Structure 1
């Protein structure tokens, strides 16, 4: 029985060596066999070498929440003050930065991407609700 196992290992090693060494174009059935072996070994290596996604750093989450807090307070301040120089421009810039931070927070929290929507109050509200449902506060 040991000789049968040794013979099987020998054939396996010969097959793997045949895949690595350059040689003349093989017969069509050999090409098919090589493709199958390559596909199966690729699947096997993909299973064995799975990469794990690291958990998000809690300090990144905290940093992002403080930036969201800061921007939301600035937006409230600009909206509540009637006589601010270039008010519309400031408000648009602050809202664009807030929207970008919301996108980053949604990626970090693992929220599903909504369908391609333009920047709007509805999308901002939806992202805020998704984050609040996941326990985010700012």
Structure 2
């Protein structure tokens, strides 16, 4: 109720100020005020987030499963040409897909966080908690 009284008082003061000032404010001030009110309106107006496409989710799950299988296969094979390079490339691709899956699932976390086993494990747990499987 107090905020309503404050809003009415603010509007009343604006009307009185408009009556007392015959000229509109300078154009620079007016543009600045318009920009600020537009930014404030953009912050307050939240656009609804559309639900992710189920086919995108399915594609990501399939791709994550495929990459996880390839990683396991390379880790278990003792004599693979350029094993370390392949593992690094596959793990980087897997991490990128995990980041994308977390974005689609709405998992909290920073995408800019340094890649590590711990981050990978946390993302996998978050996705599993939301029903993802691969």
Structure 2 runs not aligned, ≥5 long: 1-20
Counterpart position of 1:125: 121
Is residue 51 of structure 2 the alignment partner of residue 55 of structure 1?
yes
Ranges in structure 1 where 5+ consecutive residues have no aligned partner:
1-26
Q: After the TM superposition, which parts of structure 1 deviate over 3 Å for at least 4 consecutive aligned residues?
A: 32-35, 37-47
| RMSD (Å), alpha carbons | 3.3
Q: Please, what TM-score do these two structures have when normalized by structure 1?
A: 0.66
- Rounded to whole Å, the distance in 2 between the matches of 1:87 and 1:45 is 54
Distance 1:114 1:81, change over 3 A: same
Per-residue CA deviations over 1:77-102 (Å, capped at 9, x if unaligned) read: 00000001111111111000000000
Aligned residue pairs, count = 112
Which structure would you say has the larger Rg?
A: 1
1:4-44 deviation per Cα after TM superposition (whole angstroms, max 9, x unaligned): xxxxxxxxxxxxxxxxxxxxxxx796218957x84798489
Relative to structure 1, the CA distance from residue 133 to residue 80 in structure 2 (aligned partners, 3 Å threshold; closer, same or farther) is: same
> C-alpha distance in 1, partners of 2:60/2:109?
19
Taking structure 2 as the reference length, what is the TM-score of the superposition?
A: 0.68
CA distance in 2 between partners of 1:28 and 1:90 (Å): 74
Q: Using the alignment, how far apart are the partners of 2:83 and 2:116 within structure 1? A: 19
